Amino acid sequence: MATTKRSKLPHGSTRAISRRRFLSTTAVATGAAGMGWLAERKPPAYAQVRELTALALSLFAPPGDARFGELMQEFAKQAGCKARFDTIAVIQVPPKLAAEAEQQAGHDLVDVWEAYGYLHRENLEPLDDVLEPINSKYKFFTGPKECFQIDGRWKVAPWYWLAFPQNVWEKHWKDAKVEFPKTWADLHAAGKVLKKNGHPIGIQISHSTDGTAFWQACLWCYGGKVFEADSKTVAIKSAKTREMLDFAVALYNDCMTPEVLSWDDAGNNRFILSGKGSWTINPPSIYLAAVRDKLPAAKELNHLPGLAGPAGRHNTTYNHGLGLWKFSKNKDLAKEFLKFLYSEGKFDSWITAAGGFCMSPLEKYADNDVWKKDPKLAMLPSEGPYVHSSGWPGKPTQYVAAFDAQFVLPDMIAKVIAGEKPEKAIEWAEATTLKIVKETK
Amino acid sequence: MAPGDSSPVQSEALAATLRVRYTRRLADYLQQEHILGYLLLLPAFLWLAALVAYPFGMALSYCLTDIVVGRKQAAKFIGLGNFISLLNNEIFIQTVKNSFTFTVSAVTLKAVFGLLLALLLNKDLKFKRLIRGCVLLPWVMPVALSALGWKWMYDSLYSVITWTLNRFVLLVGMPALEINWLGQAKLAMASVIVVNTWIGLPFFAITLLAGLQAIPGELYEAAEVDGATPWHKFFHVTLPMLRPVLAVVILFSTIFTFADFNTVYVLTQGGPMNYTHLFATLANMFAFQTLDLGRGAAVSLFMFPLLMVLVFFILRLARREY
């Protein structure tokens, strides 16, 4: 039996240390220990195992997420820390980023795409020290550079970009005896026949992110633009925009059905997978879903390079990157992880796991076998030189974010379809964009 | 005897006496209704203060500044600048019109159909409990989930509503309909109103049912003795007796409907051409997609004064005695 120091109580009896004395002694001891930790400004030993955390949207290709999580764990083992990779639905990411920025607390690395890099630029740690050596060694493509080099500094580490090829249901085209299009004009000509054959074409003219992206690519192909290269001067009111608008309305009237006016981002996916649609623009997710679910579309679908217009070939993309919060407590660890991620055998293994859905921002890994194994995916890397971020030839700034969020471009087209005069619709788009530039902080 | 001279036994006795005295005094305090009442209210008050008053206060302070997410330090007081800017914003003006159309239509539909449903549920029906349980389903289901279900029902390709209508249309030899539920401005607004009505109807029906069951049967008996028809009984007994409950339900529903977010966000994202944007979806767009927290807060608080007036009049109506 353990011996206990016994104290003599005032009235003569003896018993174990009194409750009051025990409490006061332990309180003093705990307080002293706490003061010691506070004085050292370090957490207690048990909390010193650092945890690197990352947040991203759930990829369309789940094995890609799984591989990324594994890479984080591999890194954690090497670095003697813990790691956690959280994925959430794409729709939840913007409010989550806003909440973390506002609270100045949250994950260390966050999935930032397109204009969100610019929107959060003041809370993102510059990453030049990590990315410049990577750029010298493996070379980033121009698109991710344009998107994530903000005010001359790398504010986001490019992670992947999405290709938006033409998605065609080949049999419908063969049945209609029409050639696959190389230009928007070719598409218009073929689309008329396809629609008559009961297989219309379709892209969103609605409040959807994809709709804005597709029509902006069309605008570029016709020589139009929303902003000048200075990213601030509004350039949407032009003869080129009028030309594109007339074309878009004709394409809608002759080749599409009114359902495109109500589609969300997945509307064109459903349209193609149903077998009704003959053409759309989309990342390869439609095809990959058909392969995964063993649908007839897997056999029928193919991808073609993006379309050209009078002003050449241009296409849209979403550049995704990893931003490091300035308020992160693990900045050094996160930077080390980025170096680890970009290293040979790691980044390419993630690209492979993502099944060809995620395109490499680095030239070094653009030649991955994942795009060679399946001939229907083989053309995807060739889109690289033609893709631009929203707002091109300017940068995807806060103005672009507001322009996209207000769906100005698809609404401009929808207004003309609903009966408004094209010049009035363009004036409305210009006035709305000018207001955005004036009021957006 | 000086206090310092007391023995330990005396000290303990004194402590025990004091304990008893304090306990009694506490009991006396708690027996006073005004004290106990406030004490019982305290947890709810703290809860509301933390989850309602604090965010409301924050929103109030944000809407008067040009605050941007993550750049709190740079925020400047701009007074009513955000509100003035909104009044010059075409999308906001459209949103105000949409919100009124949406709220007035949806609340009217819910009130009319909710009352009819309550009257029906008040009858002696077979499987009464089962039916009442089923009626509650749209109310207990998560709104986003219901909206997703409706999204499929309005889908341009797979709409079960269009499919059903076409079965009838084909029967009479007419060409099949292609209804673009969410792609045409007026139809899209009607569609979101239907969904909101479907979700909110049980709240009306069940609350009004409780109100109906509280009406004393003697009033109906007296009316019958006086030769009242069913219409007379409805307009001169049921409706006046239900008025306080109806007023409160309409009040709550008006506030909930004005603040609806999920229905529109899931179904249309404010489209087509901003014809279904509501205050909440527009506030979300400003605050989270362009990080303009000040303007987002201004959008969400724009209706506050008007709703306060509405609350005042509806509550006055509920209390009025005839």
B184·A261 Cβ contact <8 A: yes
Question: CB–CB of A262 and B66 under 8 A?
Answer: no
Q: Answer whether A51-162+318-373 and A166-315+395-439 agree in fold.
A: yes
Query: How much is the mean pLDDT over chain B?
Result: 91
Show Cβ contacts of residue B297 under 8 Å, excluding neighbours closer than 6 positions: B59, B60, B62, B63, B82, B283, B287
How is chain A split into domains, by residue range?
A: 51-162+318-373, 166-315+395-439
Alpha-carbon distance of A300 to A296, in angstroms, equals 7
Domain A51-162+318-373 fold is D-Maltodextrin-Binding Protein; domain 2 (3.40.190)
Which ipTM was obtained for this model?
Answer: 0.82
Contact B185 A418 (CB under 8 A): yes
Beta partners for residue A362, in sequence order: A140
Q: Which of A350, A354, A352, A357 is nearest to A285 (CA)?
A: A357
Residues of B in contact with A434 (CB under 8 A): none
Which pLDDT value is given to residue A61?
A: 87
Is residue B2 predicted with pLDDT exceeding 60? no
Judge whether B14 lies within some domain.
Answer: no
Nearest to B270 among A10, A207, A259 (CB): A207
- What pLDDT sits at residue A12? 44
CB nearest B70 (choices: A102, A276, A401): A102
Domain count, chain B: 1
Q: A119 to chain B: which residues are within 8 Å by CB?
A: 69, 290-291
Pick among 2.60.40.10, 3.40.1480.10, 3.40.190.10, 3.10.129.10: CATH of A166-315+395-439: 3.40.190.10
> In B, residues 108-167, which contact A (CB 8 Å cutoff)?
151, 154-158
The stretch B139-148 carries a mean pLDDT of 91
- What residues of A are in contact with residue B151 (Cβ under 8 Å)? 264
Is residue B185 within 8 angstroms of chain A, CB to CB? Answer: yes
Contact A206 B183 (CB under 8 A): yes
Closest Cα in chain A, distance from residue B112 (Å): 30
Instruction: State the nearest Cα–Cα gap between B216 and chain A, in angstroms.
Output: 51
Q: What local confidence, expressed as pLDDT, does residue A19 receive?
A: 54
Q: Does B68 touch chain A (CB under 8 A)?
A: yes
- Residue B181: which of A120, A262, A271 has the nearest Cβ? A262
3-class secondary-structure state, position B110? helix
Using a CB-CB cut-off of 8 Å, the residues of chain A touching B183 are 206, 258-263
Asked whether the beta carbons of residue B71 and residue A206 sit closer than 8 angstroms, the reply is no
CB contact under 8 A, B291 and A402: no
As given in the structure block, the two tokens for residue A149 are: 């080099």
Q: Residues A266-293: pLDDT tens digits?
A: 999 999 999 999 999 999 999 999 999 9
Cis peptide before A200 (omega within 30 of 0): no
Encoded tokens for B215: 């009406």
Helix axes B90-121, B185-213, angle to 10 degrees: 40
CB within 8 Å of A355: residues ≥ 6 apart: A61, A63, A64, A288, A370
Question: Cβ–Cβ of A270/B155 closer than 8 Å?
Answer: yes
Please tell me the distance from the alpha carbon of residue A195 to that of residue A200, in angstroms, as a whole number: 4
**B269 vs A208, A418, A428: nearest CB:** A208
Asked if the structure places residue B241 within a domain, the reply is yes
Q: B290 at the A interface (CB within 8 A)? A: yes
Tell me how far apart the alpha carbons of residues B129 and B113 are, in angstroms, rounded to a whole number: 19
B73 touches chain A (CB under 8 A): no
Nearest-CB residue to B271 (from A102, A206, A432):
A206
Using DSSP, state whether B65 is helix, strand or coil. strand
Disruptive mutation site among A272, A406, A420, A437 for chain B (greatest number of B CBs within 10 Å)? A406
- CB of B183 within 8 Å of a chain A CB? The answer is yes
Q: Which residues contact B211 (CB under 8 A, 6 or more apart)?
A: B118, B241, B242, B244, B245, B246
Question: Any chain A CB within 8 A of the CB of B269?
Answer: yes
Of B9, B85, B271, the CB nearest to A207: B271
Written as one letter, the residue type at B239 is L
Shortest CA distance from B154: residue in chain A: A262
Chain A residues whose CB is inside 8 A of the B273 CB are 411, 414-415, 418
Query: Between A and B, how many CB-CB pairs are < 8 A?
Result: 123
The answer to whether residue B192 neighbours chain A at the CB level (below 8 Å) is no
Please tell me which residue of chain B has the smallest CA distance to A104: B70
User: What residue ranges of chain A have pLDDT lower than 50?
Assistant: 1-14, 42, 45-46
**Interchain CB contact of B70 with A (< 8 Å):** yes
CA distances from A263 to A13, A203, A342, B171 (A): 85, 8, 37, 29
Top-confidence residue, B319 or B122: B122
Residue B182 and residue A262: Cβ atoms within 8 Å?
Answer: yes
- What's the confidence (pLDDT) of residue A406? 95
- Residue B26's pLDDT band (cuts 50, 70, 90): confident
Residues of A in contact with B290 (CB under 8 A): 119, 398, 401-402, 405, 440
As a 3-state breakdown, chain B gives helix, strand, coil percent values, each rounded to 5, of 75, 0, 25
Distance, in Å, from the CA atom of A46 to the CA atom of A49, rounded to the nearest integer, reads 7
| Confidence category of residue B321, pLDDT binned at 50, 70, 90 | low
User: Would residue B64 count as lying in a domain?
Assistant: no
Q: Which residues of B touch A431 (CB under 8 A)?
A: 90
Q: Please write the tens of the pLDDT for every residue from B51-74.
A: 999 999 999 999 999 999 998 888
Residue A372 C-alpha, separation from nearest chain B C-alpha, in angstroms: 34
What domain range includes position B289?
A: 80-319
Question: Pick from B181, B268, B285: which is nearest to A405 by CB?
Answer: B285
User: CA A345, CA B313: separation in Å to the nearest integer?
Assistant: 70
CATH for B137: 1.10.3720.10
In the 3-class helix/strand/coil scheme, how is chain A assigned residue by residue?
Answer: CCCCCCEECCCCCEECCCHHHHHHHHHHHHHHHHHHHHHHCCCCHHHCCCEEEEEEECCCCHHHHHHHHHHHHHHHHHHCCEEEEEEECHHHHHHHHHHHHHHCCCCCEEEEECHHHHHCHHHECCCHHHHHHHHHHHCECHHHHHHHEECCEECCEEEEECCCCEEEEHHHHHHCCCCCCCEHHHHHHHHHHHHHCCCCECCCCCCCHHHHHHHHHHHHHCCCCCECCCCCCECCCCHHHHHHHHHHHHHHHHHCCHHHHCCCCCHHHHHHHCCCCCEEECCCHHHHHHHHCCCCHHHHEEEECCCEECCEECEECCEEEEEEECCCCCHHHHHHHHHHHHCCCCHHHHHHHCCCCCECCEHHHCCCCHHHHCCCCCCHHHHHHHEECCCCCCCCCHHHHHHHHCCHHHHHHHHHHCCCCHHHHHHHHHHHHHHHHHHCC
pLDDT number for residue B33: 83
Q: Report chain B residues whose CB lies below 8 A from the CB of A274.
A: 157-158
pLDDT at B140 over 70: yes
Residue B46 inside a domain? The answer is no
- For residue B89, give how far its alpha carbon lies from the nearest alpha carbon of chain A (Å): 8
Confidence at residue A47, expressed as pLDDT on a 0 to 100 scale: 53
- Name which of A9, A259, A430 to mutate to probe chain B: the one with the most chain B Cβ atoms within 10 A of its Cβ: A259
Quick: pLDDT tens for B144-186.
Answer: 899 999 999 999 888 999 999 999 998 888 888 889 999 999 9
Give the gap in angstroms from C-alpha B179 to the nearest C-alpha of chain A: 8
